[in-house]
Structure 1
């Protein structure tokens, strides 16, 4: 089953491949070999997963996309103040090769234009036996999580056509911005522009910036967070040169383009986007690349204003139903079915926001489930907000799961996913109800008709399993039947002990109250279970409310009958208390195991 993220990128790629405007950059041997039809899109998450379509493994020169990376390296080496003394942080509004320096200080406007990038290159020194360009290559390689190198042929071709850049270098030297040989600074800059990358590399570079400077695959801190903060800020205002204002307004992600045909865009804390397509527009930006960034930002709600919260996994826990069973006591046969087949039901508890990044983690998890999973419980009770893109993505993957014959059970009391096709799932207002229903589906599919009896006589109830058949019948003879209608309150909070209630048929909701007085369903009890025994003490009172869900048949061993039992048949009374204690222990043990399983997640 293909991810809806990948399906969406294929759709965008197919549509934008029809754009034929622009022409490739015409300098260098690689430029002459560039195919105008090449077009790749790669999207990398901050946990290192990459979606890619099209031409994503073809090498090209990084060109000006190198500028923010070297800028970050210079800041990491020297500190913010030292770099600021040589390069300003003001948007220039000029083309990339404009002579844009301050009349007062001589500083270039920012590090994204050529003058600023050459000044930055002059600040990067050799260290540890490595030359400046070797240190730059090493840093870029750490960004990309693979070894990448500068291409000598490409560098020499650029150098032969770089009179304007030579002029910029000597101008910066004349006002003291470049200290040392300006030609060396220019050579370092041109060599960094000639580093060969592919679209997938750029996506990983963007994801590393999105992750605050730590590569999400290797875990290497490439740049300190403070340097990344400055780099992304300057990219936002100046990364797209004289198109920066329109870009900030309509795309809303820090970005950088290169005349090699690449563009990176960064949504901090969430994703890195890279596009490669050689034909360029009048600003020197890839035509298809810019169009793809605009389209994806709009469709996936990636504008920094809309997607302001940090993107982290929206999955709080993942486990199977056998690890977290319901509170319903099953027959021995049904319990064996659940023990064997409970792993066929997956439970995902979600939390936080379902914008693109958070939803993507959920979609990826759902797309990678084992073939043996038949049922999926999706619990969104703790989700704070769902974006339009989250609804679309989850709707698509749920439809695919249903098409592959999976049953979806949604715990959504607040209607957070009301926009998803409601024919695709069954909605529950509580987690326990969903788990209980899921267990029932498992038993129906893998058990026999006897596994789910419509009623459980008290004498054969799992609660009284330790008793002999004769003793169970003698105990039943002391009970009185009671029939309850749907919604009838059987026991209320505060009532004194009224006996032990055995459920013969139907279901009972046990309702508790929060400290603020709001009520919530604590658990659901079914046939074969009991309640009321927790108020056994003379002075103890009922702490929960028991309410019928549909018609219910009960057998009640009331307080008077219990008192008579203790006086007339104390041995049987002891067996009853042992059976009730054992049943309570089994329920607590099951709950403890479920909690332990979730903690291990």
Structure 2
């Protein structure tokens, strides 16, 4: 099963491929002849997972997307105070190549416009045998996670057409913003713009910024968190030049575009985005790139005003049915079938806010397990915010499950999420308010699929009950002679917590629920019992009192071995009574063991 995120990207790429607006940048020979049909989208999460669609392997020159990274290197070398003396951090409101310096100081407004970027290059110094440019190139490579190469043809084109940038360098030298030979500085600026990347490289570079300066795959600290903070702040206010205000409103992500056709965007703590598409708009940004980011931000809830800060993992617990059966007592044959196929049912307990990063983790976990998984239970009781991206991705997931013949259900106490998903999918989705009922649903599915003959029948003779399995037919006959018939209507409370033992009740038909009481006084559903099950015998313990409240869920017929009849059995047939006690103890220990497993799951979650 393909990831819903991958499906979304594929569909988005197909939709936006039809947009033919814009023209490749004509100022450099290499970009002027770029294929306008090339289009790639790449997302990289902070834990190194990459999703891509289209031409993500296509190499192109990094151009102005280099600017935040050179600025980061300058900050690492000199610190923000020293860099701030040469380059300000204020939005200019001008185009990327505008000749604009601050009055008096001559400082460029910010490091994202060409004047500021050239000034940033001048702050990078050679170290030993490593030249200024080799340090810049190596620095970019550490963000990408591979060695990036310079394109000689792009560089030569930059040199032949870069008159305006040479003029900016000379102007900066006149104000002593550049303190060295401006020709050498601008040549290195041309070189950094000529480094070749693809969309995957840029996505990982952006993800490194999103990850606080740590490469998501190499796990090395490329830059310090303070540097990342400064870089992303300037990208937010200045990265999209004279379109920054509109971008921040509609997309709301720190970003940087380049005339080579690339755009990067960063969602701190969650992911990096990169798009390649050569046709540009009037601001010098990729037309498809801007539209892609706008759609991603809207559909995935990525705007920084909505995305929030990622907390602990959204997956609080991850286990299979083997670790947490429902508590419904079943025959030995049924238990064997459930044990054999229990790992086909996966339970994920989710919590916190399901935003992009959290939802991505959930759907990736599910799709990675899909080969063996046939049933999925999502426990949403600890989810605080089921955001729009969660709704979109889960809708696709449910549809995928339906198409592949798999089943999904939710533990959703108020049913709000279930209602939303059902509306989006136009189908009924199984939903339960608590854990035991969902486990019972899963067990029924497994039995119906692999052993339909073992699915609980409408009625069961006392001789076939699970408790009496170890007891001989002769003993069962003696017990049956002492039983009384009773009938309870739906909703009737048969026994309450604290009542004394009055007998063992064998369910012939119908179903009852067992409700316990937590230490805080709240009640919780402990189990559901059906034909062939018994209740009431727990009160035979030391306390002599009922430990659960038993309520009929539908019309239920039982046969009761009253406490008086049990006394008669012990008196008249002591050996039979002893074997009955052993069977009851065996059944009780089985239930205690399962309860301990369930409690361990809840504590772990």
**TM-score for the superposition, normalised by structure 1:** 0.91
CA deviation after TM superposition for structure 1 residue 238, in Å: 0.4
Does structure 2 retain, via aligned residues, the 8 Å contact 1:312–1:358?
A: no
Partner of 1:488: 492
Shift of 1:318: 3.4
Q: For each residue in 1:210-230, what CA deviation from the matched residue of structure 2 results, as whole angstroms up to 9, or x when unmatched? A: 222222222222222222122
The residue aligned with 1:44 is 44
Given the superposition, is the C-alpha separation of residues 129 and 587 from structure 1 closer, same or farther in structure 2, using an over 3 Å criterion? farther
Contact 1:489 1:547 in 2 (8 A): yes
Among 520, 540, 555, the alignment partner of 2:524 is 520
Output the CA distance in 2 between the equivalents of 1:494 and 1:307.
Answer: 50
Residue 221 of structure 2 is aligned to residue 221 of structure 1: yes
1:207 aligns with 2:169: no
Retained in 1: the 8 A contact 2:418–2:431?
A: no
Q: Which residue of 1 aligns with 2:148?
A: 148
Counterpart of 2:90 in structure 1 is 90
Give yes or no for contact 2:30–2:157 (8 Å, CA) kept in 1.
no
Superposed displacement of residue 245, structure 1: 0.6
Question: Do the aligned partners of 2:28 and 2:161 also contact (CA within 8 Å) in 1?
Answer: no
Q: What corresponds to 2:262 in structure 1?
A: 262
Of residues 546, 549, 562, the one that matches 2:550 is 546
CA shift for structure 1 position 114: 1.6
Matched, 1:243 2:247: no
User: 1:63 Cα shift?
Assistant: 0.8
Moved more, 261-270 or 240-249: 261-270
Where do 1:567-578 residues align within 5 Å?
A: 571-578=575-582
Change (3 A) 1:560 1:264: same
Q: Which moved more, 1:347-356 or 1:529-538?
A: 529-538
Task: Show CA shifts across 1:369-406 (max 9, x none).
Answer: 44443332232222222223322322222122212222
User: Which position in structure 1 is the counterpart of 2:11?
Assistant: 11
For residue 403 of structure 1, what is the aligned residue in structure 2?
A: 403
Q: 1:123 to 1:375 in 2, by over 3 A?
A: same
Unaligned runs of 5+ in 2: none
Q: Which residue of 1 aligns with 2:421?
A: 420
TM-score by length of 2: 0.90
Change (3 A) 1:427 1:200: same
- Following superposition, the deviation at residue 16 of structure 1 comes to 2.8
In structure 2, C-alpha distance between the alignment counterparts of 1:539 and 1:299, rounded to whole Å? 58
Cα pair 1:43 1:50 within 8 Å, conserved: yes
**Are residues 87 and 564 of structure 1, via their aligned partners in 2, closer, same or farther at CA, if it must alter by over 3 Å?**
farther
Corresponding pairs, count: 601
Following superposition, the deviation at residue 163 of structure 1 comes to 2.9
Deviation at 1:202, TM superposition (A): 1.4
- Shift of residue 529 of structure 1? 3.4
Give the conservation status (yes or no) of the 8 Å contact 1:381–1:412: yes
**Aligned residues of 2:494 and 2:550 also touching (Cα < 8 A):** yes
Structure 2: distance between partners of 1:76 and 1:589: 58
Higher mean displacement: 126-135 or 262-271: 126-135
| Cα distance change of structure 1 residues 451 and 108 upon mapping to structure 2, 3 Å threshold | same
Question: How much has 1:286 moved relative to structure 2?
Answer: 1.2
Q: What is residue 66 of structure 2 aligned with on the other side? A: 66
Residue pair 2:299, 2:388 contacting (<8 A) in 1 also: no
Q: Which residue pairs with 2:334 in the alignment?
A: 334
CA contact (8 A) 2:444 2:455 kept: no
Q: Distance in 2 between matches of 1:53 and 1:591?
A: 47
Give secondary structure in 2 for the equivalent of 1:328.
coil
Mean Cα deviation higher: 281-290 or 43-52: 43-52
1:118 alignment counterpart: 118
1:205/1:485 Cα in 2 relative to 1: closer, same or farther (>3 Å)? same
* Structure-2 separation of matches of 1:499 and 1:579: 15
Gaps of 5+ in 1: none
